[in-house]
Chain A
Amino acid sequence: MSVRSGAGVRSVARIVARADGRGGTSLPVLESDGPLALRRTRATGSETRVMLVGAMSGPLGGDHFTVEARVEEGACLSVGSAAATIALPGQAKGDARYDVRLEVADGAELHWLPEQLISAQGSDLHVATRVELAATARLVLREEQILGRVGEEPGRLTSRLSVRVAGQAVLDQELACGPGAPGGWDGPAVLAGRRAVGQLIVVRPEFAAAPVTAGVLGEGASVVPLAGPAALVTAVAPDALGLRRLLDEALASLPRT
């Protein structure tokens, strides 16, 4: 359960998705915690949906949120969020942390499609997303970062995304931006003034034998095969709307399964 201490709030929310043996997916564990509230929503076919609600309120400086999801063999889970998450400065000193730990077993599938993370002025947030997939697991994961609310300077945001398939890292990347980040983050090599940046990673066992073809969507996005059974879309845009449009377009361009 969540604890408010002088250093901020610690919250851990947990999801376990399990094949129910009737072609659907059950949720033997669905633990909300303080500001991290989880709601089961309507299931479609074999897929069960969970919505993260109320994360709006944080994380603030000093907070440490963790969301863990495990998708067991043959299960199919989709996780979204009701609204964008806003990183805000807090009364407690220090940075905020948001850890996401995802595990997907053989024959299981996870769609991790939260709304945007907005880095508000004065905030300082470290996000670490780690995904462990078994050899035949499937994944669609989207991360979108918006640097500042409209007309506002961004806070400091450091975000690391690492994805392993069968114990082998296929992606390990960190983006640091905002005031106090190492120099050049807003310059011509990194973001060049764009205020929205995102990634979409798709892992499918079929990509090992038939990788996607590398290409670009205009000047703001690329679709590439990773060194492993995965495809990555990297996109930058002036704003959240433009970014979502690019990521949706790129996802639609991937071969259907």
Chain B
Amino acid sequence: MSRAALLVLADGRFPAGGHAHSGGAEAAVKAGRISGAASLEEFCRGRLHTAGLTAAGLSAAAALGIDPVALDRAADARTPSPALRVAARKLGRQLLRAARATWPSAELDALGREFPKGAHQPVVLGLAARAAGLGPVDAAYCVAYESVSGPASATVRLLSLDPFDATRALARLAPELDRVADRAVEAARQVVDEGVDALPAGSAPLLEIGAEAHAGWPVRLFAS
């Protein structure tokens, strides 16, 4: 395996549709809950330890070779907001396209046949990591980082925030990213013996409520 494949997969320019999603930041900005660099950092911190941890666990488990159908159901149960389930499947489908083009693999083709309308994005990412020769730790890091980098770059556009401030906020979260990735991988390894109930199920009420509010707006910049 080449560790450098992780850089390709985690690159914000990897063409898998992430740029059109704000990870809940657009709703939080409109509600006044994100108004600058400090509140962006707290938003990202909260998202990382809830939705980010949950997604990282799913992804690490997929990278370990756990049945993606069981993981996709576990993702549904951990995603009560239908707007977020739709977004996760849309992003999963887009990621699958990019991953199949980048790292052709029979597993990815099979996933596409199983989920023609898309599987949850973290599950796809775990399998993409496998196809790229990466492991569960890589997948967990990639997903945990995406859970904060998406809202950060969206907020730069939404608030014309100084991009250096946003990037500094991400850098300050690095030690917590390490912990989240560790927890996610540890839980994913438990799935082998205990089933998908062992996966983290962290939730964030305001992300759930905000996603449904956002889905109802007639005019918005981001898809979620």
Contact residues, A139-183 vs B (CB, 8 A): 160, 162, 168-176, 182-183
CB closest residue in chain A, given B76: A227
CB closest residue in chain A, given B78: A172
How far is it, in angstroms, between the C-alpha of A232 and the C-alpha of B53 when the chains are bound? 22
Does B92 reach chain A (CB closer than 8 Å)?
A: no
Q: Are the C-beta atoms of B48 and A184 separated by less than 8 Å?
A: yes
Query: With A185-B49, A189-B46, A191-B206 given, is the CB distance from A168 to B215 under 8 Å?
Result: no
Contact residues in B for A190 (Cβ distance below 8 Å): 46, 50, 204-207
Interface-centre pick from A219, A220, A222, A236 (highest chain B CB count, 10 A) = A222
Query: With A184-B45, A190-B205, A214-B212 given, is the CB distance from A169 to B74 under 8 Å?
Result: yes
Contact residues in A for B50 (Cβ distance below 8 Å): 184, 189-190
Main secondary structure of the interface of B (DSSP, over half): helix
Q: Are the C-beta atoms of B203 and A189 separated by less than 8 Å?
A: no
Q: Are the C-beta atoms of A234 and B39 separated by less than 8 Å?
A: no
How far is it, in angstroms, between the C-alpha of A53 and the C-alpha of B197 when the chains are bound? 32
Main secondary structure of the interface of A (DSSP, over half): strand
**From A174, A220, A226, contact of B201 by CB (8 A):** A174
Q: Are the C-beta atoms of B205 and A236 separated by less than 8 Å?
A: yes
Interface bits B133-177 vs A (CB < 8 Å: 1, else 0): 000000000000000000000000000000000000000000010
A178 CB to nearest chain B CB (Å): 13
* Interface size classification for chain B: 35 or more
Does A82 reach chain B (CB closer than 8 Å)?
A: no
Contact residues in A for B47 (Cβ distance below 8 Å): 184, 189
B9-17, B81-89, B98-106, B124-132: which lies at the A interface?
B81-89
Q: Are the C-beta atoms of A189 and B206 separated by less than 8 Å?
A: yes
Interface bits A184-205 vs B (CB < 8 Å: 1, else 0): 1101111110000100000000
Q: Are the C-beta atoms of B212 and A183 separated by less than 8 Å?
A: no
Contact residues in A for B83 (Cβ distance below 8 Å): 214
Q: Are the C-beta atoms of B200 and A183 separated by less than 8 Å?
A: no
B200 CB to nearest chain A CB (Å): 7
Q: Are the C-beta atoms of B81 and A215 separated by less than 8 Å?
A: no
Q: Are the C-beta atoms of B201 and A173 separated by less than 8 Å?
A: yes
Interface bits A115-156 vs B (CB < 8 Å: 1, else 0): 000000000000000000000000000000000000000000
**From A171, A176, A187, contact of B43 by CB (8 A):** A187
Q: Are the C-beta atoms of B45 and A234 separated by less than 8 Å?
A: no
A240 CB to nearest chain B CB (Å): 15
Q: Are the C-beta atoms of B49 and A216 separated by less than 8 Å?
A: no
Total A residues in contact with B, Cβ cutoff 8 Å: 37
Does B68 reach chain A (CB closer than 8 Å)?
A: no
| Contacts between the two chains (Cβ within 8 Å), count | 135
Contact residues in A for B209 (Cβ distance below 8 Å): 216, 219-222, 234-236
Contact residues in A for B203 (Cβ distance below 8 Å): 173-175
Does A58 reach chain B (CB closer than 8 Å)?
A: no
Q: Are the C-beta atoms of A169 and B206 separated by less than 8 Å?
A: no
B178 CB to nearest chain A CB (Å): 13
How far is it, in angstroms, between the C-alpha of A227 and the C-alpha of B79 when the chains are bound? 9
Q: Are the C-beta atoms of B46 and A171 separated by less than 8 Å?
A: no
A201 CB to nearest chain B CB (Å): 9
Does A251 reach chain B (CB closer than 8 Å)?
A: no
Does A224 reach chain B (CB closer than 8 Å)?
A: yes
Query: With A185-B49, A214-B212, A234-B80 given, is the CB distance from A192 to B206 under 8 Å?
Result: yes
Does A225 reach chain B (CB closer than 8 Å)?
A: yes
B22 CB to nearest chain A CB (Å): 12
Q: Are the C-beta atoms of A222 and B208 separated by less than 8 Å?
A: yes
Interface-centre pick from A188, A215, A224 (highest chain B CB count, 10 A) = A188
A118 CB to nearest chain B CB (Å): 18
CB closest residue in chain A, given B31: A219
CB closest residue in chain A, given B28: A188
Contact residues in B for A236 (Cβ distance below 8 Å): 205-206, 209
**From B39, B176, B196, contact of A187 by CB (8 A):** B39
Q: Are the C-beta atoms of A226 and B207 separated by less than 8 Å?
A: no
Other A-B pairs beyond A184-B50, A215-B212, 8, CB < 8 Å: A172-B74, A173-B203, A182-B49, A185-B49, A188-B34, A188-B46, A190-B206, A222-B209
**5 A–B contact pairs at CB < 8 A?**
A182-B176, A185-B46, A192-B206, A216-B212, A235-B205
